[in-house]
């Protein structure tokens, strides 16, 4: 599998990462090498095999719908880069 510099820019956008144009061909080469490597997976015949998403095939536990956390908004927001009046601040999204 060989990725083009254009593919790289598309993946970077999906991942919310910046790849400068001049680095996109280096990235393409590196990631293509990794994809070539993982394509060894095709040596295994996986027809009719169920995917395993979790060791031991465990299913998630249910719990009672009870309040078990107290409100720690101020404490948690003290970790944020920018807050105001209990809100997280980001650049304006809607004009």
Partner 1 sequence: MTISNASPVTLSTLSAALHNRELSSVELTTDYLNRIERHSDLNAFITVDPDSALKQAEEADRSIATGNPGPMTGIPIAHKDIFCTQGMATTCGSKMLEKYISPYDATVVERLKQAGAVTLGKTNMDEFAMGSSNENSFFGAVSNPWDKNRVPGGSSGGSAAAVAAGISPAATGTDTGGSIRQPASFCGLTGLKPTYGRVSRWGMIAFASSLDQAGPITRTAEDAAIMLGIMAGFDQRDSTSVERAVPDYRAALDDSLDGLTIGLPREYFDQGLDSEVGDAVERALHQLQSQGVRTVEIELPNSMLGIPCYYVIAPAEASSNLARFDGVRYGYRADNYQDLNELYCRSRTEGFGPEVRRRIMIGTYALSAGYYDAYYLKAQKLRRLIANDFEQAFAHCDLIVGPTAPTTAFRIGAKTHDPVSMYLNDIYTNAANLAGLPALSIPCGLDSQNLPIGLQLVGNYFDESRLLNVAHRFQIESDHHLQQPTKV
Which residues form the interface with partner 1 (CB under 8 A)? Answer: 3, 7-8, 11-12, 14-18, 27, 30-31, 33-35, 37-44, 46, 49-56, 58, 60-61, 63, 72, 75-76, 79-82, 88, 90-93
DSSP letters of 9-39? HHHHHHTT----GGGHHHHHHHHHHHHHHHG
CB of 21 to partner 1, least distance (A): 14
Min separation Cβ 41 and partner 1, Å: 5
> Looking at residue 66, what DSSP letter applies?
-
């Amino acid at each position: 599998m060989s990725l083009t510099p254009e593919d790289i820019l598309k993946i970077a956008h999906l991942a919310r990462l910046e790849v400068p144009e001049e680095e996109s061909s280096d990235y393409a080469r590196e990631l293509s090498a990794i994809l070539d490597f993982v394509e060894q997976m095709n040596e295994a015949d996986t027809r009719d095999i169920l995917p395993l998403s979790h060791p031991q095939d465990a299913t998630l536990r249910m719990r009672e719908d009870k309040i078990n956390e107290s409100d720690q908004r101020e404490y948690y927001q003290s970790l944020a880069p920018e807050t105001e009046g209990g809100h997280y601040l980001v650049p304006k999204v809607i004009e």
